[in-house]
Amino acid sequence: MTNVITLVPAEGRGLQVEYVESSDLPTPWATFRLHGFVDRTGGREHLALTLGSVADGEPVLARVHSECLTGDALFSRRCDCGAQLEAAMKRVAAEGRGVIVYLRQEGRGIGLMNKIRAYRLQDEGMDTVEANQHLGFGDDERRYDAVKPIFEHLGVGAVHLMTNNPRKVEALEALGIQVVTRQPLVAGANPHNHRYLRAKARRLGHWIPI
Ligand SMILES: [Zn+2]
């Protein structure tokens, strides 16, 4: 079904997520299938990585990862994103079956340039929540609406979700995605991100042992 185009209007904001194409993606841990999607309403390009048969009706080991260019691609130790992504990919590879949705919403949804502005404010002493609020944003601007049509396209209904974020579990369940279990994903703690992880735990309610 590689050339099938699906247009899936989601309730609420007229979300249109279009499936574009799939290919192999060899990685150090497994050769995943890489699937491309475009959110026509916001123009964002999202990705999904799958391994094994995810459309067989059984709950799927899953990660919904929001883009963090600095952490995922530039090895930043200010956060734990790159380590979490790598840990999730390794876990899916070990299991031989799973899905990782990669949502292009940088910096908890505030965008890359604003994230640098927020980092500057954190360099001067604010925590991650204070910095986003100082710039006029909510403490977490991420949306997960696109996950529903992506999962529908892939045939995924129920998941074992790798996350430490209670808001993400709530958001996915509100979209009608069944979160059968939550799998903790603790990786990448280091001296540089201790304050950041503590703020995520204390101010955003993340389940992170600090
Ligand atoms: Zn990050």
The residues near 201 (Cβ < 8 Å, ≥ 6 apart) are 207, 208, 210
The pLDDT tens digits for 100-122 are 999 999 988 899 999 999 999 99
Sign of CA dihedral 42, 89, 82, 186: positive
Residue 142 falls in the annotated catalytic set: yes
Query: Cα(128) to centroid of ligand 1, in Å?
Result: 11
Query: Cα(112) to centroid of ligand 1, in Å?
Result: 11
CA distances to 3, 52, 124, 145, 209 from 10, in Å:
21, 27, 41, 8, 36
Q: Which residue do the tokens 């995922």 mark?
A: 72
State the pLDDT at residue 30: 98
Query: Cα(187) to centroid of ligand 1, in Å?
Result: 12
State the pLDDT at residue 47: 98
State the pLDDT at residue 84: 96
Give the DSSP H/E element, type plus range, for residue 6: none
DSSP assignment of 149-190: HHHHHHT--EEEEE-S-HHHHHHHHHTT-EEEEEE-------
Residue stretches of the chain with pLDDT short of 50:
1-12
Residue 15 and residue 146 in contact, taking contact as beta carbons nearer than 8 Å = yes
Domain ranges for the chain: 7-103+142-203, 106-141
Asked if CATH classification 3.40.50.1360 holds for the domain at 7-103+142-203, the reply, yes or no, is no
Residue 118 and residue 110 in contact, taking contact as beta carbons nearer than 8 Å = yes
Q: Is 79 annotated as a binding residue?
A: yes
Query: Cα(57) to centroid of ligand 1, in Å?
Result: 32
Residue 123 and residue 150 in contact, taking contact as beta carbons nearer than 8 Å = no
Catalytic residue among 91, 142, 167, 198: 142
Residue 127 falls in the annotated catalytic set: no
Q: Is 134 annotated as a binding residue?
A: no
Backbone φ/ψ region at 81: left (φ over 0), alpha (ψ -120 to 50), beta: alpha
State the pLDDT at residue 2: 43
Q: Is 18 annotated as a binding residue?
A: no
Q: Is 163 annotated as a binding residue?
A: yes
The residues near 182 (Cβ < 8 Å, ≥ 6 apart) are 160, 161, 163, 169
Catalytic residue among 91, 140, 143, 145: 140
Q: Is 181 annotated as a binding residue?
A: no
Q: Is 70 annotated as a binding residue?
A: no
Query: Cα(73) to centroid of ligand 1, in Å?
Result: 10
Query: Cα(107) to centroid of ligand 1, in Å?
Result: 7
The pLDDT tens digits for 158-189 are 999 999 999 999 999 999 999 999 999 888 88
d(CA 36, CA 59): 22
Side by side, the strands of the sheet bearing 15-26 are 7-10, 15-26, 31-39, 44-51, 98-103, 60-66, 158-162, 178-183
Q: Which of 157, 150, 169 is nearest to 49 (CA)?
A: 150
